[in-house]
Amino acid sequence: MQTEQSGREPGGRELPSAETLRQWAHELGFASFGVADVDLSDVEDGFQAWLDAGYHGEMDYMARHGMKRARAPELVEGTVRALMVSIEYAPEDPAWVERAWATLADGEQAYVSRYALGRDYHKLVRSRLQRLAERIEQQIGPFGYRVFCDSAPVMEGELARRAGLGWRGKHTLVLNPRRGSTFFLGTIYTDLELPVSGRIDDHCGTCVRCIDACPTGAIIAPYRLDARRCISYLTIEHKGPIPEELRPLMGNRIYGCDDCQLACPWNRFARPTAVADFHPRQKLDRSTLVELFAWTAEEFDSRLAGSPIRRIGHERWLRNLAVAMGNSAGGDDIVAALRARRDDASPLVREHVEWALRRLAETEGAIGPDGRPVARSAGADSVARQVNTAPDPGSGDNRN
């Protein structure tokens, strides 16, 4: 294997140095850059066990390509390295974590995952990766490559870990001691035999905050996620009715979920995004459930043009909102909004609306010790716990 300093491939091609590549990646707005070897044979058994357990739920695409996901050359012939990049999406507000908890604790507000407040990242990342590949091509001439961002059977997390972008947290995401985990990953498969980057050690230590914070218990063990319980899966990937036993646990999370990341002490070091396209649109960071539930299908399509949320469609949007409204403290506006959709054309929406109305009726008038109506979601309980035990990145319990 080559060293970091070497500039020539065994085949004879003169290659840009790792430093030059990193510089080019930074100029394109990528926060981190690294090079990974593509031999993922040691993760194949774990991935197969995950599929065999059915943890992928309805995500057929996870099973469809079998082990091609872990075998880069079977997807793109000649691949020997993966160039890995990250790009930040954390909000600009330095108090974004506290604000996120506050929104989660407010049953009238809608909570949209922070990654989805602005423009969809997939195309943006791929087009920047394409520019990076073209820049390499200008320097060394034609070479074999293909760019990805969530767009093909590629194990981006594992490759990013091997490229030194971070370690895999117990929530399974990649995180980094200087920037937390609030970044997307992108990949270039290539036939260039570039030197492989050094790795970052796992700094989770004895910490289990993400596991404790997960409202639905989806992190069934450290580094193992049952996607079928994950609110991100339930609100985005899952098409049909949301299992009834999970609905009360979802709180006001209507698209994606961030709790495991909000609870992580390392996200004190998350960096604000430098990408204007990722800034919040349509007041998605400060809208009420009632406001969003009122959107017609046409409004949904036009307001969310270019947003990742658009791909779930208006029907699932209403389904998710109905669950959140059922978990709220109720009140005239919420009940009236739900009743107005009792005759919705979609049986899926109608069923979730009826569930929400039933749930509100069952606990009508429930008053908390502070004399205010109770938002009855376990999600709200977990939020209260988090607020009371605000993460202290200096405590060191996560650094051994």
Token look-up 């117990």 returns 170
Q: Provide the mask over 14-43, with x wherever binding to ligand B12 is found by CB under 6 A and - wherever it is not.
A: -----------------------------x
The footprint of ligand SF4 on residues 162-221 (CB under 6 A) is 169-171, 175, 204, 207-210, 213-216, 218-219
- What interhelical angle do 378-388 and 96-105 show, nearest 10? 140
What are 178's strand-pairing partners?
none
Among residues 50, 111, 278, 300, the one that binds ligand B12 under rule CB under 6 A: 50
**Which residues participate in catalysis according to the annotation?**
150
**232 interacts with ligand B12 by CB under 6 A:** yes
Residue 295 CB, shortest distance to ligand B12, in Å, is 21
Closest CB 43 distance from ligand B12, rounded Å:
3
Q: What does residue 272 show for φ and ψ, rounded to 5 degrees?
A: -65, 145
Among 91, 107, 248, 256, binds ligand B12 (CB under 6 A): 256
User: Among residues 159, 181, 169, which one has the least CA distance to residue 219?
Assistant: 169
88 touches ligand B12 by CB under 6 A:
no
Residue in the shown chain whose Cβ atom is closest to ligand B12:
46
Q: How far is CA 216 from CA 72, 114, 213, 261, in A?
A: 33, 19, 9, 14
Task: Report the nearest approach of ligand SF4 to the CB of residue 327 (Å).
Answer: 14
The smaller minimum CB distance to ligand B12, of residues 107 and 166, is found at 166
Torsion, Cα of 130, 135, 136, 141 (10° steps): 110
Name which position in 2, 6, 172, 346 contacts ligand B12 (CB under 6 A): 172
In the structure encoding, which two tokens stand for residue 74, read together? 């079977």
Asked if 195 and 4 touch (Cβ cutoff 8 Å), the reply is yes
Locate tokens 């949301």: which residue? 242
Give CA–CA dist 379/252, Å, rounded: 8
Interaction site with ligand B12 (CB under 6 A): 43, 46-47, 49-50, 53, 59, 62, 113, 115, 149-150, 154-158, 171-174, 181, 183-185, 223-225, 227, 230, 232-233, 237, 256-258, 260
